[in-house]
Structure 1
Amino acid sequence: MDERKKQILQAIVNDYVTTAEPVGSRTISKKYGLGVSSATIRNEMSDLEELGYIEQPHTSAGRIPSDKGYRYYVDCLMEKEKLTPTEIKQVENFFAQKNTDLEQIVQATCHLLSQLTNYTAIILVPKRGDGSLERIQLIPVSLYRVMVVIVSDTGFINHRVLDLPHPIEPQRLQEISDFLQKKLFGLNMEKVNGTLLKEISHQFSNHGDFKNLTLELLEQVLTKSKDDRVF
């Protein structure tokens, strides 16, 4: 896309976002001072429409950005604004707080983004069960507590702390973690079959309570959720 088309697309997006009204060539000519006539702008807008960057909602109306146009604007035309020292301090203070709960972190981040931009902020978290399992890890928290962390290739992260009736040696815990990683890596998170669960159950045969808790967790985490998680 040449420079003039970029300027016209940028003008259409900026004006449409502000007014929610289709943007005509005369509006661009008057407001944005591109140094070309309305006729030239109309020709360029026709080219942009053919390329799929803008659309005409109805005959004789101006143009509005298409999904492709918005994506190009965000990727190539939008100018990044620098944070003020006060805003930088806000961000630093936010991340200096100790908070390990993912849902609370996402909720607070959404609120912070809204404060900094004065816009509505929406965060859509990947659904539980989407994608394939990328990593599973068992992390000792104490003698009687273990954290299970599951990560999918979509970015979904779930963790849960399990209370153990009996302590498990770190070496044994690492063996179990390696076993699960080997068996579950790359597996679609909503297609864990009964045979695999039986194999995992056998591996945990010496730790009955821990086995039941882990299998319960895997069933919960690897099953696709019905609802979108929106903040």
Structure 2
Amino acid sequence: MRIALFGYGKMGKMIERLAVERGHEITAKIDLGSDKIDFSNIDVAIDFSTPDAAFANISICLENNTPVISGTTGWLQKMDDALKLCKETKGAFIYASNFSLGVNVFFELNAYLAKMMNNLSQYKVSMEEIHHTQKLDAPSGTAITLAEGIIANTHYQKWKLNERVDEEIPIFSKRIGDTPGTHTINYNSQVDSIEIKHTAHNREGFALGAVIAAEWILDKTGIFTMKDVLNLG
């Protein structure tokens, strides 16, 4: 499989290493200031760029009939436009706030727990996410996805960053050292607490999930998620 990498930072380099180990070829590395792209030599694109560049990268891939995997966060105000373009071009697109296989299982666990906790009003939910100091957005895209999973299954309607407000999910964001990513959901009452937590030990899980998604989407048409890739039901 011939892969184009949009964004060639730490994640791009890690995706390159894992993709080559799995027998694939990196035929383009597109970063800021790159020359014109030869889409005839690309089977699938993987975007881990920047919030400012992501939508343009996704658009040019879809317009050139190239399936695209995007793990860039912080650009979701344009998500509806990306989905519309994918439908218009009969393209193939996967966006995930986190491609880690373990995190995507954690998303399902989070939604299931939220459903069980919905009628237990004595428990108040909160969330903490910790990432490296170079992460540009807060809260993380993973934290937002987790909050959306809680909102879909409880009476909560919104989340709030670094602040407790009644009937909103507080998300406390911390940026510490080189932390790859830790997400904790806590349901706290006066008598006890229930907590679920996912801790990434390194960034390799994110990169591997993106390569697996790229392998899966080849020759498909439509808008998909990691739930489809992993057959999580």
Q: TM-score, normalised by structure 1?
A: 0.26
Larger proportion of helix: 1
Larger-Rg structure: 1
1 or 2, which has the higher strand percentage? 2
Higher relative contact order (CA 8 A, sep 6+): 2
